[in-house]
Amino acid sequence: MNEISTPAWVVLEDGLVLAGRSVGAPGTALGEMVFTTSMNGYQEAVTDPSYLGQILCFAAPMIGNYGTGPGYDESDHPQTEAVIMARSGDRGGAAGPTGWNTWLRERGVVAIEGVDTRHLVTHLRDRGAMRGGVTTELDPDALRELVLAHPVLDGRDLVSVAARPRRSMGTTGPLIAAIDCGMKNSIASRLVAAGCRLEILPAGATSDEVLALDPAALFVSNGPGDPAAATSVIDAIRGTLGQVPVFGICMGHQLIARALGIGTQKLPFGHRGANHPVRRSDDGRVEITVQNHGYAVQSTGLPDGVEIIRTSLFDGSVEGISAPEVRAWSVQYHPEARPGPNDAGYVFRHFVEQVV
């Protein structure tokens, strides 16, 4: 039996077992089981640090039909623990000459197809994200034992794991200090394209280190894990509030909220996909956005001076906040990804224009 037809299993902590077959690297992977409704951007998703610690199920029926290539990675290596698909492709295409399954195998990603992903997605939708595992080498009972012993995502600080070393980008414009909590390459590129220079510091950098750069503003990136556990970043943000303008995306949005004294909470199954409508409070317009998060900012108990500026039309959750007195604001969605295609593209430009 060749590798491409090796039997594989998906097991959830509540006992659900689904069969599949290996199309990626052999092995066993554990993590929080989540799904995305996006039909494309699969190479970007698997290399997105926000998926660290998670097993990603693609809800779309076919993944990998336009190949892979250089320039689409969001970090320097795959981040998801494993990938689950109904059907996968392995030919080159518009993205590049390498087939998707080949790309997964070459990078050591445990990946399987032939899974009843409709069943898995509806199960997670109805019962919530939970621990799970994928294996090409164990039986389901043995895999479930490992799943039940695996730590839950709540309480885990993963931003320090996802962050990369300090680096600089851009040559002109105001200097923006950025805290890397698992920062996507495209976010950094879009900020530079909006007209700024970046000095990117890894999660764990202090407010003194940020302010020593004499930046025009602070940016806080996306990232994985529980925002409540990323206390070092929260402390760093709190120490800069009122000193320089602060802006954040996704995990950065949640961390800014916590620095302002607002709580965060776990969503039942998260928001992951390229079809999420968000209403702006200032003019009532709706943006179609890309999202990838399992936690949300609480809408109650807002301190004085903080307002909600964006709201999800799916479930009413908070998609953006603003604290004008300390020049802080944030959005939950990803403006660098363009499903609208350009609904939220103004966000980076607006941020940079504020600090010029």
Catalytic residues, by residue number, are 250, 334, 336
What three-state secondary structure class fits 81?
Answer: coil
Rounded-to-integer distance, Cα 46 and Cα 124, Å: 19
Three-state SS at 52: coil
Q: Which two tokens stand for residue 178?
A: 């950025």
DSSP lists the bridge partners of residue 132 as 12, 31
On whether the CB atoms of residues 83 and 54 are closer than 8 A, the answer is no
Please state, in angstroms and rounded to a whole number, the distance separating the CA atoms of residues 83 and 148.
Answer: 20
Residue type at 303 in one-letter notation: P
- What are the structure tokens assigned to 319, written together? 């998609």
Bridge partners, residue 288, by sequence = 277
d(CA 260, CA 265): 15
Closest by CA to 162, choosing from 221, 246, 235, 234, is 221
* Backbone dihedral angles phi then psi of residue 227, each to the nearest 5 degrees: -60, -30
Strands (DSSP E) contained in the chain are 7-12, 17-22, 28-36, 54-58, 82-84, 110-113, 130-135, 167-169, 175-180, 197-202, 217-220, 246-249, 264-280, 286-297, 307-312, 318-323, 328-331
Contact 309, 329 (CB under 8 A): yes
Tell me whether residue 56 is exposed, middle or buried, using C-beta atoms within 10 angstroms of its C-beta: 0 to 12, 13 to 18, 19 or more.
buried
